[in-house]
């Protein structure tokens, strides 16, 4: 991979991760409810899932095998259902705010956040579409696939962590202002509703 080609890949990857989507909404919600550090743990779950999809893509020789219509339909259904589930959970958490004061902080384990982040990305067709449609565009024909992916993989991981992490840090900085029972309740309703809309669009779009 030449330097100009790598820079183009890096720029496009950063752009893809900065565009707000389910993962961004999920990460901002985590930062406001659980704090910066716990939100970043969920981001690590996102990154691990993306690596898993990347391995699947590599094993399938350019991700052609996993592009079957039945596979995509199943993945879209799983992803839609999981987003709707997370949206409902956020709305239910919002209702709990009515019983707490402004210092309210949700109690959740790091393992739970990591698992949610992992499955959100693993079942997200956008992540799979990124690997199937974008990565092959930056692969050099006539060269081994593995060395090129060994360059792309850490680039993707670092780019995702920096982009999603910036949203997390931004949300955390304003957490004190948002952290009142009423404001956090409204945020949970909005975030949960957005994730449910994403899920419905994925299911019927």
Task: State residue 150's pLDDT score.
Answer: 83
Q: Whole-angstrom Cα distance, residue 204 to residue 78?
A: 13
Task: State residue 100's pLDDT score.
Answer: 47
The owner of tokens 């743990």 is 41
Q: Whole-angstrom Cα distance, residue 161 to residue 168?
A: 10
Task: State residue 88's pLDDT score.
Answer: 83
Task: State residue 126's pLDDT score.
Answer: 65
Q: Whole-angstrom Cα distance, residue 199 to residue 78?
A: 9
- Tens digits of pLDDT across the chain (205 residues): 778 888 888 888 888 788 777 788 888 888 888 888 899 999 999 999 988 888 876 666 444 444 455 655 665 677 677 778 777 877 776 665 554 444 445 678 889 999 999 988 887 766 766 676 667 667 676 677 778 888 888 898 899 899 999 989 988 887 766 665 566 677 777 877 877 887 787 677 6
Q: Whole-angstrom Cα distance, residue 119 to residue 79?
A: 8
| Tokens linked to 190 | 């909005």
CA-based nearest residue to 7, from 151, 117, 123, 129 = 151
Task: State residue 102's pLDDT score.
Answer: 46
CA–CA distance from 158 to each of 17, 38, 79, 133, 195 (Å)? 11, 18, 24, 20, 25
pTM of structure:
0.66
For the four alpha carbons of 29, 25, 82 and 123, in that order, the dihedral sign comes to negative
Q: Whole-angstrom Cα distance, residue 120 to residue 176?
A: 27
Q: Whole-angstrom Cα distance, residue 164 to residue 144?
A: 31
Query: 156 near 17, Cβ under 8 Å?
Result: no
Domain with 90 in it? 3-204
What's the domain count of the chain? 1
| Tokens linked to 176 | 């004190």
């Amino acid at each position: 991979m030449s330097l100009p080609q790598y820079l183009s890949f890096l720029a496009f990857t950063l752009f893809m991760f900065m565009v707000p989507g389910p993962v961004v909404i999920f990460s901002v919600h985590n930062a406001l409810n659980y704090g910066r550090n716990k939100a970043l743990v969920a981001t690590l779950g996102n990154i691990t899932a993306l690596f898993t999809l990347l391995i699947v893509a590599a094993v399938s020789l350019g991700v052609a095998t996993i592009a079957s219509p039945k596979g995509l339909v199943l993945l879209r259904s799983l992803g839609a259902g999981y987003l709707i589930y997370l949206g409902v959970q956020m709305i239910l958490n919002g209702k709990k705010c009515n019983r707490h004061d402004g210092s309210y902080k949700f109690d959740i384990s790091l393992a739970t956040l990591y698992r949610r982040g992992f499955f959100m990305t693993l079942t997200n067709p956008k992540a799979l579409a990124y690997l199937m449609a974008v990565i092959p565009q930056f692969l050099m024909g006539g060269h081994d696939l593995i060395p090129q992916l060994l360059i792309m993989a850490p680039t993707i991981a670092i780019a995702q962590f920096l982009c999603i992490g910036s949203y997390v840090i931004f949300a955390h900085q304003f957490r004190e202002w948002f952290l009142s029972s009423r404001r956090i309740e409204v945020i949970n309703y909005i975030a949960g509703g957005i994730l449910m809309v994403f899920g419905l669009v994925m299911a019927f779009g």
